[in-house]
Amino acid sequence: MTTLYGIKNCDSVKKAKKWLEQENITYQFHDFRSDGFNAELLAELLTYTDLTALLNKRSTTFRNLADDVKNNLTDEVITENILAQPTLIKRPLLKHKQALLVGFKESQYQQALI
């Protein structure tokens, strides 16, 4: 099963969805806002990558974090903040077989899926 994680109004998620549909690749979409995000899902994602790869330091949500949080990015702090605000996660995430792609790059998607 191929699962695309993100939020529906994210431009990168829209690009990934469009590409998957153009390539006739069946996938399930999991919206962090409407479908939820919890510690179990985060733990599952972390079997494929690490916290620093998931953290989107370019996001508006990250920029709006308090300076003491941004200057103390331990695994515990990152985990706590990602669980509270899933929009801190780089998007989209594409889980396919035993791999997780972070962000959308057409060449990576093509290599992993075709």
Q: Which residues of 44-68 are buried (b: 16+ CB within 10 A; e: fewer)?
A: ebeeeeebeebbbeebeebeebeee
Q: Assess whether 10 carries a catalytic annotation.
A: yes
Q: Give the number of residues written for the chain.
A: 114
Please tell me whether residue 58 adopts helix, strand or coil conformation: coil
Return the amino acid letter for 112: A
Annotated catalytic residue, options 4, 10, 89, 94 = 10
Which residues participate in catalysis according to the annotation? 10
